[in-house]
A and B are shown apart, each in its own frame.
Chain A
């Protein structure tokens, strides 16, 4: 079964608009973490933001925020005031803890290619 689902293979957004990238996940573990990464055409994987399953507030990092809806098992990434440099692949990932950190592993979604139009 798919653990991490990103339903938008590609998106086009006008520069300066806000954009929401969808991510849903599936786990029965009460302790888990959610990550978002950006991969520009250069290929590097850039860590953007993290949300823990027990965190009460949505995570924010500059223009990035994570809309965490635990009951719906969704962890959408919101980018405010998009810029041309935001054009990249974006991956959602989940860490399942399996009860202790040494057994944790991180699984990635299929990604969303975001293109920002000038």
Chain B
């Protein structure tokens, strides 16, 4: 099984600033995804992080707000830009292959 780490585990940010979240997988994976989860809600897919190319964003999510990088098969970053209180949420990284998909522990973001 893959072990996925995320940094930071939590942060409190001011409105208008940005936060970059790092996701590191301990083995090469074909797929990496970024999700957002509001308290008591399910997971909403933000985008698929594509290795060496632009991420594929879901409806309602745009690159200017959520730039994503994936320079190799084990690492990805998600930046949440121009923060507003509505961005307060848990952000989760997922990685794996066709039949195994594991999650990082999540990043809890609070925007004041």
A83–B102 CA distance with the chains assembled, in angstroms: 23
The reply to whether B30 and A50 form a contact with Cβ atoms under 8 Å apart is no
Contacts of B30 in A (CB 8 A): 101-102
Say which residue of A35, A101, A106 sits within 8 Å of B45 (CB atoms): A106
* Stretch of B17-25, B60-68, B92-100 lying at the A interface: B92-100
Closest CB-CB distance, A80 to chain B, in whole Å? Answer: 22
Closest CB-CB distance, A34 to chain B, in whole Å? Answer: 10
Interface string of B85-96 (1 = CB under 8 A from A): 000001010100
CB within 8 Å of A: which residues of B?
A: 1, 30-31, 33, 35, 42-45, 48, 50, 56, 58, 90, 92, 94, 98-103, 105-106
CB within 8 Å of B: which residues of A?
A: 33, 35, 37, 43-45, 47, 50, 52, 91, 93, 95, 97, 101-111
13 CB contacts below 8 A, A to B, read A35-B101, A43-B106, A44-B106, A45-B94, A47-B1, A50-B100, A50-B101, A52-B99, A101-B98, A105-B33, A105-B58, A110-B42, A111-B42
